[in-house]
Amino acid sequence: MIGVLFALVLGLVAPSSAFAQSQAANGAIEGTVSDTSSGTLPGVIVTVIHTANGSQRSVVTNESGFYRVLLLPLGTYRVTAELPGFKTFEQTGVRVAVGATAVVNATLDVDAVSETVTVSAADLPAIDLARIDIGHTMSDLEVHSLPLVARNPYNFALVQPGVTGYENIELGVPRLAANGQAMRINYQIDGNTNTEKDRAGLRLLPMSEVMIEQVKVVTTGFAPEFGHAMGMVYNAITPSGTNAFRGQASYLFRRNAFSAFPFFFGCGSTTPAANCPDLSSIANRVRPATKVDTGTASMGGPILRNRLFFYGGWEQTRRDLSASRLITASPAVVEQLGLKSQPVAAPNVQTAKFAIGKVDYQLNHSNRLTARWIRFANDAPYNAGTAGGATLERQTNFLDGMHSTPAQLVTTLGSNRLNELRVQYAQRHQQSMLNGDSGSGPAINIAAPIVAFGGPYASTGQDSAGFDFRQQITQVVDNFTYVRGNHSYKFGVDWQHVVDERVAAPQFLYTFPTAAAYLAARSGVAPFGYAAVTQLTGDRSFEMSTNLFSAFVQDDWQLAPRVKLLYGLRYDLYEYPEGLADAPLA
């Protein structure tokens, strides 16, 4: 089955210091060079130097005095403009953010002697006066300084107008909606896809603060380069090492005493008043159990000064979720059924680990290579939803592991042509397994009073032993940019090969109306006393391969010194097996 989508994007922007997100993992600097009489100066050599890692790029202004320096690593730059017979212009503190362009206009004074005029960052525009995209770039300061109780950077999307969400217990990752489009999010890391393809709008790989330098959220007006979503593009950019060694370590913890009572603490409107506890005094209130321990560490620096850099980060979070795994099975019924005595709650202590390793290598003057590896592992024992009447026999251990290994090569071909090649392999693997307390045989449900025991095979989903899901994504992206006059033409292709493998749990469930009916059936007195039996038969495995191909062309046209037009065309092709025409695509 093949799905095709064409998209035409037009945008006009007035005075501005940034335009639509048109670079996935980099930024740009542009501007106009003129003399003191406002006459534009062609042939000026403009050099931008990254103050933290020493990388630099030089271009020459065109006949309109206009210049562009594209695909720059993020960070702070020094910009110089030189022309014989004029004083050298220098601008310091130029900040380059992901997907944005810093505008640095230079005015050169005539002077027979060598002299440099330096302008500080304070003279740069304080805000973006107009943009054709609607969104926000969160800097390193915001990412690591704003309150983030859940330690989930995806919550930063909620600070953007038009973005809403609802909570989910899966590591606090919310389900997001943008501009009324629920679960239509294009998640990216360094411009590579991070969207789970079987469920539209769900991220593939969770992220930690130690893995993020900037966050770019765009809800409207993203350039043709970006697609695969109608709602929002969420792009997380990972840190890089510099010429200075820098590192950090932290320990964070939460306990009951640090937590406030929930806003709607007490009985719901449908609960009979006679069953409500007396909450008139603090002494009669019990806070939900809270125990979280988190350790983080990161380090970055040079391997070869000005050429080769490294960055590494680690986080581990342990959370006691036993309060949400209460076992309410009647002790009397448990004893009647001959089961082991049950604890108050299942010992569900979740351990989540994050790791990142990244290398940036300036191979030569024309080629810069970036490679990284990200790993996430979630170990959640006794993780079978809200246990309720379920005994320990029905609990399983849930394992969720993900990793992403991409590389990016940026090549400059002369002063006006650039090529950006990105490749990635990413995988997510989930499975539920038996533990030391898991039962054997079919699952047994007693309806009154509610007790669930036997083997953990009540459903085909991830709460039952034997569930297994794996998704693998191979991605190749190549973008070519050609700068001619006041035009910046960009052409690109994106190919993704997605492999889904699933194994459903072996479902086998008996439901009995009472404990007496179960005992009678077990003894053989009334072997058919069950109310229902459910069993899965046939092949439990499933495998599907999907190909996604995209191509785009766009032009960023500087119509006048303070007027810009961005327009382009995008083509998307989805190819998946026949019979799956309604399969969700992210």
pLDDT (mean) for 416-440: 93
Site of tokens 């010992």: 347
φ and ψ at residue 12, rounded to 5 degrees: -125, 130
Check whether 217 has a pLDDT greater than 90.
no
CATH number at residue 406: 2.40.170.20
Specify burial of residue 414 (Cβ count, 10 A radius: 0-12, 13-18, 19+).
exposed
Q: Which residues form the domain of 105?
A: 19-123
When divided into structural domains, the chain yields a total of 2
Q: Which one of 87, 108, 123 terminates a domain?
A: 123
pLDDT (mean) for 389-411: 92
Does any domain span residue 151? no
Of 175 and 573, the one with more pLDDT: 573
Check whether 280 has a pLDDT greater than 60.
no
Burial 294-303 (b: 16+ CB within 10 A, else e): bebebebbbe
Q: How far is Cα 34 from Cα 40, in angstroms, rounded to an integer?
A: 4
Provide the pLDDT confidence category of residue 114 given band limits of 50, 70 and 90.
low
The answer to whether 548 touches 495, Cβ cutoff 8 Å, is yes
Check whether 12 has a pLDDT greater than 70.
no
Does any domain span residue 218? no
Provide the pLDDT confidence category of residue 295 given band limits of 50, 70 and 90.
very high
Closest to 148 measured CA to CA, from 233, 204, 194, 209: 209
Q: How far is Cα 231 from Cα 157, in angstroms, rounded to an integer?
A: 12
User: What is the predicted pLDDT for the residue at 323?
Assistant: 75
User: What is the predicted pLDDT for the residue at 14?
Assistant: 46
User: What is the predicted pLDDT for the residue at 170?
Assistant: 54
The answer to whether 153 touches 239, Cβ cutoff 8 Å, is no
Phi-psi region of 466 (alpha: psi -120 to 50; beta: other; left: phi over 0): left
Of 155 and 479, the one with more pLDDT: 479
Q: Which one of 68, 93, 123 terminates a domain?
A: 123
Of 405 and 586, the one with more pLDDT: 405
Burial 233-259 (b: 16+ CB within 10 A, else e): bbbbbbbbbbeeeeeeeeeeeeeeeee
Structure tokens at 46: 């403009």
Does any domain span residue 91? yes
CATH number at residue 109: 2.60.40.1120
User: What is the predicted pLDDT for the residue at 17?
Assistant: 39
- At 115-167, the pLDDT tens digits run 666 666 554 554 443 345 566 777 777 777 777 766 778 777 777 777 877 66
CB atoms within 10 A of CB 581: 10
Cα 475 from chain centroid (whole Å) = 16
The answer to whether 460 touches 507, Cβ cutoff 8 Å, is yes
Model pTM? 0.82
Q: How far is Cα 449 from Cα 475, in angstroms, rounded to an integer?
A: 52
The answer to whether 400 touches 380, Cβ cutoff 8 Å, is yes
Query: What residues contact 359, with CB distance under 8 A and at least 6 apart?
Result: 303, 308, 309, 310, 311, 370, 371, 372
CA angle at 252 for the pair 249 and 256, rounded to the nearest 5°? 175
Highest mean pLDDT among 5-14, 122-131, 429-438: 429-438
Q: How far is Cα 500 from Cα 323, in angstroms, rounded to an integer?
A: 34
Does any domain span residue 334? yes
Half-sphere CA count of 60, side-chain side, radius 13 A: 8
Does any domain span residue 273? no
Q: Which one of 123, 156, 176 terminates a domain?
A: 123
Provide the pLDDT confidence category of residue 320 given band limits of 50, 70 and 90.
confident
pLDDT (mean) for 277-281: 49
Does any domain span residue 476? yes
Does any domain span residue 11? no
Q: How far is Cα 451 from Cα 461, in angstroms, rounded to an integer?
A: 20
pLDDT (mean) for 302-306: 95
Does any domain span residue 252? no
